[in-house]
Amino acid sequence: ADPFPFYGAHQAGIITPAQDRLHFVAFDVITSDRAELLDLLQDWTSAAARMTQGKDAGTFGAVGGSPEAPPDDTGEALGLPASGLTLTVGFGPSLFDKRFGLADRRPPALADLPPFPGEKISADISGGDICVQACAHDPQVAVHAIRNLARIGFGRVSVRYSQLGFGRTSSTSRAQATPRNLMGFKDGTENIKLEDTSMLTDHVWAASGDGPAWMDGGSYLVTRKIRMHIETWDRTSLTEQESIFGRDKGKGAPLTGKDEFDQPDFAKTGPDGLPVIAADAHVRLAHPSIHGGARLLRRGYNFVDGSDGLGRLDAGLFFMAYQRDPRKQFVPIQTELAAKDSLNEYIQHVSSGLFACPPGVTDGGDFWGRTLF
């Protein structure tokens, strides 16, 4: 398969058909020198332009440079194709708070997320000044890309946290089959897909007049690491599992329909007079009809980070969603879910991230974040 183009009006990795693997990283900027930060963003952009096309991170490559110097590529992707690699950058609220004279450039839509009931957020795996989402079909390629960005950033940024993901939990194209999350349910059925061009305009891309012009054509990313209580879930009956989501486990059809893409009928009641799709079902509470039409482009991944030392898998969903304005999309939807969703008994949000992902890099003279600085 051909590599995805790096240059364009929008960054790749948002509406790109979701690849199978993720390596997500959040960096803290450790230099206080604005010029150094700008140099880094330029260095990163040229490495990203190369790596996404299947090349080494630097021009000499893993083995072509001076034997006396550390190579400008770490080498573990030698011989591997681009594998659909995309690299998507975002800027967190903390980048605007402290330094670099950026305070008045912070978009109002990048407002800190409120606390939500039931969450247990660990600061050490949350936030970050700059994030990079690497997605690829091959985990070695995604890891290689993030590792080389971290290497290039030495002395200017440090890795705050990173997350590996597998088995995408959303489709972002109608050409893709809907994958399953670790609860065994199809996830991504009612997602925004790249073919839905008017929905992308309405719900994904920041538009002129929304906020500062530097974000025009960009998008806001919310990340949430959501731990699943897998062992409790696995002892729950199939009927209960299906009623929690409001969809059947086999096909992913709404409980009021037959096929995956049938529209749910939230008004329908059963013989007991109760709604067939329960009042506290996930798909009812997340549905655009109760959020003034608000939608998300979900692009999450499964994770298993080993075990927790208490006899349980440390597993769940690394939720990622792109949107035009989190104040109108993620926040109201999550407020409703956190208050009422019957799924809450089986999950806990343990990290949180919010990033302004700028528009695309237009050509070889452009760089990540140019419009911001």
Note the residues at the interface with ligand HEM (CB under 6 A): 181, 183, 185-191, 224, 226, 228, 245, 247, 282-283, 286-288, 296, 316-317, 319, 330, 333-334, 337, 347
Least separation, in Å, of the C-beta of 194 and ligand HEM?
A: 16
Least separation, in Å, of the C-beta of 37 and ligand HEM?
A: 32
- The nearer residue to ligand HEM, 49 or 109, going by C-beta atoms, is 109
Residues in CB range of 205: below 8 A, 6 or more apart: 10, 217, 218, 219, 324
- The nearer residue to ligand HEM, 214 or 233, going by C-beta atoms, is 233
Contact predicate 92/355, CB 8 Å:
yes
Least separation, in Å, of the C-beta of 261 and ligand HEM?
A: 10
Least separation, in Å, of the C-beta of 260 and ligand HEM?
A: 9
Contact predicate 321/221, CB 8 Å:
yes
Residue identified by tokens 């879930």 is: 233
- The nearer residue to ligand HEM, 91 or 319, going by C-beta atoms, is 319
Least separation, in Å, of the C-beta of 270 and ligand HEM?
A: 20
- The nearer residue to ligand HEM, 37 or 294, going by C-beta atoms, is 294
Least separation, in Å, of the C-beta of 32 and ligand HEM?
A: 35
Q: Which amino acid is at 20?
A: D
d(CA 306, CA 314): 6
- The nearer residue to ligand HEM, 160 or 282, going by C-beta atoms, is 282
Least separation, in Å, of the C-beta of 65 and ligand HEM?
A: 45
Least separation, in Å, of the C-beta of 189 and ligand HEM?
A: 4
d(CA 270, CA 75): 60
Q: Which two tokens stand for residue 218?
A: 């960009």
- The nearer residue to ligand HEM, 259 or 272, going by C-beta atoms, is 259
- The nearer residue to ligand HEM, 10 or 299, going by C-beta atoms, is 299
**How many CA within 13 A on the CB side of residue 68?**
0
- The nearer residue to ligand HEM, 142 or 226, going by C-beta atoms, is 226
